[in-house]
């Protein structure tokens, strides 16, 4: 089976080698062929040089690497869509450049997808670099839940995240509502059913929007704990709540609620 991996880079010199090497190793161990589609959002560091001089020469010849260099940062949706439209694999893995494939077999996950036509997206277990679980699978949020999170970020108030599942992480494959797109696995034909990422969203919450669209098509998002991914997340919006990234995220949330026509009532 062929797998297309869609990876965005933006000043990712510190992460990109361990990212691509780890996914390539996982593919090699199971006899899978990888198509690495890398979209660079105008990096100003040595990201492209690392890819071309350090990473590509070390990959198995059965893998291919296609780099789409952009002159500026087009965000997450426009850039990912460029790669998704070029993907030829039977399955697609969307992964952030600061992720690292840690543990678990890919073939069983791909067979699970092929045998479950009602499943749209598999969301692996994401771990922080220290091994702590990242609360990446959540409920659809409400405006109130997001407002309390802003208070937590700005004032450091100990407010419980209302869109979290209190018993997460789960030990078994289980349905969730949303999952961070730091790593998603899905069949290529999902793009024919749901479509591509909404390019009216620049940075976030493009993953939340897509999960809602998957749900509206009657498909499931399944948490898949057998695959574990390290996520060396930069948490740009949390680092500075008034940064360009944070404000873009806030604007994206308002667009999301307006688009899907709800504010306070949680979708079940």
Task: Give residue 185's pLDDT.
Answer: 98
In a domain? residue 228: yes
Helix or strand holding residue 86 (H, E): helix 77-86
Task: Give residue 1's pLDDT.
Answer: 72
**In 3D, which of 83, 95, 85, 74 has the Cα closest to residue 27?**
95
96 three-class SS: strand
Question: What does residue 79 show for φ and ψ, rounded to 5 degrees?
Answer: -65, -45
Under the banding of pLDDT at 50, 70 and 90, the label for residue 248 is confident
- pLDDT of residue 260 exceeding 50: yes
In a domain? residue 23: yes
Contact 230, 182 (CB under 8 A): no
Contact 225, 169 (CB under 8 A): yes
pTM of the model: 0.92
In a domain? residue 267: no
In a domain? residue 24: yes
Task: Give residue 237's pLDDT.
Answer: 46
- pLDDT of residue 234 exceeding 60: no
Contact 172, 214 (CB under 8 A): no
Across the chain, what does the average pLDDT equal?
Answer: 91
Contact 256, 250 (CB under 8 A): no
Summarize pLDDT for 135-182 with one digit per residue, the tens. 999 999 987 766 666 555 554 555 566 789 999 999 999 999 999 999
Percentage above 70 pLDDT, the chain: 87
In a domain? residue 245: yes
The number of folded domains in the chain is 1
State both tokens at 59. Answer: 């990959």
**Which residue did the predictor score with more confidence, 113 or 204?**
113
In a domain? residue 118: yes
Helix or strand holding residue 213 (H, E): helix 206-216
Determine how β-strand 99-103 pairs with β-strand 220-231. Answer: antiparallel
Please give the radius of gyration of the chain, using alpha carbons only, rounded to the nearest integer.
18
Question: What does residue 185 show for φ and ψ, rounded to 5 degrees?
Answer: -125, 130
In a domain? residue 265: no
Helix or strand holding residue 29 (H, E): helix 16-29
In a domain? residue 47: yes
For residue 159, the enclosing domain spans: 2-260
Q: What is the domain-level CATH number for residue 20?
A: 3.90.550.10
- pLDDT of residue 98 exceeding 80: yes
Rounded CA separation 97/183 (Å): 10
- pLDDT of residue 112 exceeding 80: yes
């Amino acid at each position: 089976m062929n797998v297309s991996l869609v990876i965005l880079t933006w000043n990712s010199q510190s992460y990109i080698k361990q990212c691509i090497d780890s996914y390539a190793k996982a593919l090699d161990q199971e006899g899978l062929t990888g198509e690495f589609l890398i979209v660079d959002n105008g990096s100003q560091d040595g990201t492209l040089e690392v890819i071309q001089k350090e990473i590509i020469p070390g990959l198995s010849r059965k893998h291919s690497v296609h780099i789409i260099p952009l002159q500026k940062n087009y965000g997450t949706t426009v850039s990912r869509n460029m790669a998704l439209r070029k993907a030829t694999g039977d399955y697609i893995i969307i992964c952030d450049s600061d992720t690292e494939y840690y543990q678990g077999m890919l073939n069983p996950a791909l067979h699970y997808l092929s045998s479950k036509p009602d499943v749209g997206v598999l969301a692996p277990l994401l771990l922080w670099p220290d091994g702590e679980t990242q609360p990446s699978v959540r409920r659809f949020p409400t405006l109130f839940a997001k407002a309390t999170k802003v208070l937590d970020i700005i004032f450091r108030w100990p407010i419980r995240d209302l869109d979290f599942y209190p018993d997460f992480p789960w030990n078994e494959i289980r349905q969730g509502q949303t999952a961070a797109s730091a790593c998603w696995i899905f069949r290529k034909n999902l793009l024919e059913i749901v479509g591509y990422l909404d390019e009216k969203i620049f940075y976030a919450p493009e993953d939340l929007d897509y999960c809602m669209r998957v749900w509206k098509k009657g498909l499931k998002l399944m948490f898949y704990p057998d695959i574990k991914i390290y996520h060396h997340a930069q948490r740009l919006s949390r680092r500075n709540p008034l940064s360009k990234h944070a404000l873009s995220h806030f604007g994206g949330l308002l667009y999301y609620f307006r688009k899907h026509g709800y504010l306070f009532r949680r979708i079940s």
